[in-house]
Amino acid sequence: MCIFCKIANKEIPSKVVFEDEHVIAFHDVNPQAPTHVLVIPKRHIAGIAQAAPEDEAVLGRLLLAARQVAEKTGIAEGGFRTVVNSGANAGQTVFHLHVHVIGGRPMAWPPG
């Protein structure tokens, strides 16, 4: 079982920001900004490239939950970034689909 599945199953503690029956959002342990929260589906999906048509509802739920996280953490009004890394070459290090919600400081484009 992957580390994010263990967090979703409450086997590993996390600082939860938002949770419903389909997703859970928690603070990143290695934040890249003052606010850095990860939103994951509770059901294991390795990444966006592995998502199937039957995952459509949970994919939409991830983005709506990201908005709720931004509102709850106070970064919605000033702006925030959502990021989904897909695969090792894109920087994905935990192979459980997750949306980074990042904010609390100005960000440039392109990132990095």
Q: Tell me the pLDDT tens digit for each residue of 67-87.
A: 999 999 999 999 999 999 999
Question: What is the pTM (predicted TM-score) of this model?
Answer: 0.95
> Which is it for strands 35-41 and 23-27: parallel, antiparallel or unpaired?
antiparallel
pLDDT at 112 over 70: no
User: Given this model, what pLDDT does residue 81 score?
Assistant: 97
User: Given this model, what pLDDT does residue 111 score?
Assistant: 75
How far is residue 32's CA from residue 48's CA, in Å, rounded to a whole number? 22
pLDDT at 4 over 80: yes
**Could you tell me what percent of the chain has a pLDDT over 70?**
99
Q: Tell me the pLDDT tens digit for each residue of 13-39.
A: 999 999 999 999 999 999 999 999 999
Q: Which residues are catalytic?
A: 98
